[in-house]
């Protein structure tokens, strides 16, 4: 049995607390919001996971030190926009060599850093890993079969995360490509916004398939330019996470996109979803990375124009469809005549 601190009591943190408790571990859940902790203590239910009971043995606290002390693993589960602030708050309580696994997905717009890079900057004495893949909290909390990937520069750290999270309904693979895993997890949220916008416009399965296929092409092209591995984007944190996020109504990014396609503004859509829509925060960063690495990302570009420049969604789709003719896979040779 391991002692595990869940830093963040959102739906994903709560779902993972149920999973880890079911694996026989002692789990402590922290939130920066005292009222959220009081609600969890009183009800042992999370408002975004109806019908899922949080075990009585689980500890809930608003004291960060209590959640971190004498823990074998810390799971950082706050939304990406709060990763830096939360990591900085953790520093006084961190023991040297502490394993921290980040489970949020995003890129910091101001620095263009991945979340693991932010954690390493704020907590230089930590050993950092990430857990990512097609894994909606609503399904993980109910014990539905799910697969993810644990990535770290340390093979031992990745294997430790694998061992602690593995169970009958939660299979974990390992990967050394932490950059590729994080980029896949962050950028798929932007493509999912596009998929939702297409749904909101009333488009069909052909459109969705096109966005998923060309979307992973854009993600892989940028990821490889930044040093990620092609195999990663063919895996769970690449095409796997992209498919589930573009297709499922559990996806807050898709739900927000649907509303935007129906005419909502970005802010109206976020207010309606009432949860953090990570793709909105990653969209600008993705476009800046595309410019920095000189990678063509037309879907990402059009999503930014719809979100931040008020471009009509139908016009953005039209511009995507009417771009210059292209070869699908330029590296493939034509046979000699």
Q: What is the pLDDT of residues 137-155, one digit of tens each?
A: 999 999 999 999 999 999 9
In a domain, 331, yes or no: no
Positions marked catalytic = 188
Q: pLDDT tens digits, residue range 287-327?
A: 999 999 999 999 999 999 999 999 999 999 999 999 999 99
Look at residue 278 and tell me whether its pLDDT is greater than 90: no
d(CA 229, CA 233): 7
Same-domain check for residues 206 and 167 = no
Q: Are residues 24 and 113 in the same domain?
A: yes
With respect to residue 191, please indicate whether it lies within any of the assigned structural domains. Answer: yes
**Per-residue model confidence (pLDDT) at position 274:** 81
CATH code of the domain in which 261 resides: 1.10.1040.10
Query: What pLDDT is attached to residue 303?
Result: 96
Same domain, 23 and 161: yes
Q: Give the pLDDT score at 290.
A: 97
Range of the domain at 101: 3-176
Please give the pLDDT value at position 122: 98
Beta strands (DSSP E) in the chain are: 3-7, 26-30, 59-61, 73-76, 99-102, 127-132, 146-152, 170-175
**169/197 same-domain check:** no
Above pLDDT 70, what percent of the chain?
100
Is residue 273 scored above 90 in pLDDT?
no
Same domain, 163 and 292: no
Q: How many helices (H) and strands (E) does the chain have?
A: 16, 8
In a domain, 336, yes or no: no
- Domain match, 158 and 37 both: yes
3 with 25: CB under 8 angstroms? Answer: yes
At residue 130, what are phi and psi to the nearest 5 degrees? -130, 150
What token pair was written down for 8?
């963040």
CB 277 within 8 A of CB 252: yes
Are 186 and 113 contacting, i.e. CB atoms less than 8 angstroms apart? no
Same domain, yes or no, for 18 and 163? yes
Query: Does residue 26 belong to any structural domain of this protein?
Result: yes
Q: Tens digit of pLDDT for each residue in 210-239?
A: 999 999 999 999 999 999 999 999 999 999
Quickly state the pLDDT bin for 277 (edges 50, 70, 90).
Answer: confident
User: Do 39 and 24 sit in the same domain of this protein?
Assistant: yes
Is 328 a domain residue? no
Q: What is the mean pLDDT of residues 245-250?
A: 91
Task: Based on the fold, state whether residues 183 and 131 are members of the same structural domain.
Answer: no
Q: pLDDT at position 231, please?
A: 97
Looking at 176, 198, 223, the residue that finishes a domain is: 176
Q: What pLDDT score was predicted for residue 337? A: 83
First CA to last CA distance, the chain: 66
74-98 average pLDDT score: 97
CATH no. for residue 107?
Answer: 3.40.50.720
Report the domain count for the chain: 2
Does residue 265 lie in a domain region? yes
332 within some domain: no
- Please check whether residue 106 is in contact with residue 76, taking contact to mean a CB–CB distance below 8 angstroms: no
Same-domain check for residues 317 and 197: yes
CA triplet 94, 37, 117: central angle to 5 degrees? 35
Residue 330 lies in a domain: no
155-191 pLDDT, tens digit each: 999 999 999 999 999 999 999 999 999 999 999 999 9
Query: Which bin fits 251, alpha (ψ -120 to 50), beta or left (φ > 0)?
Result: beta
- Residues 97 and 63 occupy one common structural domain: yes
Contact present, 201 and 314 (Cβ < 8 Å): yes
**pTM: predicted TM-score of the whole model, two decimal places:** 0.94
Percent of the chain whose pLDDT exceeds 90 = 92
Residue 276 has a pLDDT of 79
Residues 196 and 131 in one domain: no
């Amino acid at each position: 049995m391991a002692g595990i601190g869940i830093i963040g009591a959102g739906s994903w943190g709560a779902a993972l607390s149920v999973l880890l408790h079911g694996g026989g571990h002692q789990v402590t859940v922290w939130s920066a919001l005292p009222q959220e902790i009081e609600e969890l203590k009183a009800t042992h239910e999370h408002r975004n996971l109806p019908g899922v009971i949080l075990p009585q043995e689980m500890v809930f606290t608003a004291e960060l030190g209590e959640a971190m002390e004498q823990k074998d693993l810390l799971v950082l589960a706050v939304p990406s926009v709060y990763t830096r602030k939360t990591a900085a708050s953790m520093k006084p309580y961190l023991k040297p060599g502490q394993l921290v696994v980040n489970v949020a997905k995003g890129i910091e717009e101001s620095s263009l850093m991945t979340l693991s890079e932010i954690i390493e900057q704020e907590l230089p004495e930590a050993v950092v890993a990430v857990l990512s893949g097609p894994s909606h909290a609503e399904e993980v909390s109910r014990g539905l079969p799910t697969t993810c990937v644990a990535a770290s520069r340390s093979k031992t750290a990745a294997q430790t995360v694998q061992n602690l999270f593995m169970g009958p309904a939660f299979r974990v693979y390992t990967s050394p490509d932490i950059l590729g895993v994080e980029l896949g997890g962050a950028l798929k949220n932007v493509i999912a916004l596009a998929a939702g916008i297409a749904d909101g416009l009333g488009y069909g399965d052909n459109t969705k398939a096109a966005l998923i296929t060309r979307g992973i092409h854009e993600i892989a092209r940028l990821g490889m330019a930044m040093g990620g591995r092609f195999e990663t984007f063919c895996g769970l944190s690449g095409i796997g996470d992209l498919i589930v996020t573009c297709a499922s109504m559990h996806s807050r990014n898709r739900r927000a996109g649907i509303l935007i396609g129906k005419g909502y503004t970005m802010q109206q859509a976020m207010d309606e979803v009432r949860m953090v829509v990570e793709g909105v925060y990653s969209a600008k960063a993705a476009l800046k990375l595309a410019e920095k690495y000189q990678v063509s990302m037309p879907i990402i570009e059009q999503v930014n124009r719809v979100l931040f420049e008020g471009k009509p969604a139908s016009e953005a789709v039209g511009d995507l469809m009417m771009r210059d003719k292209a070869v699908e896979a330029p590296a493939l040779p034509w046979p000699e005549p």
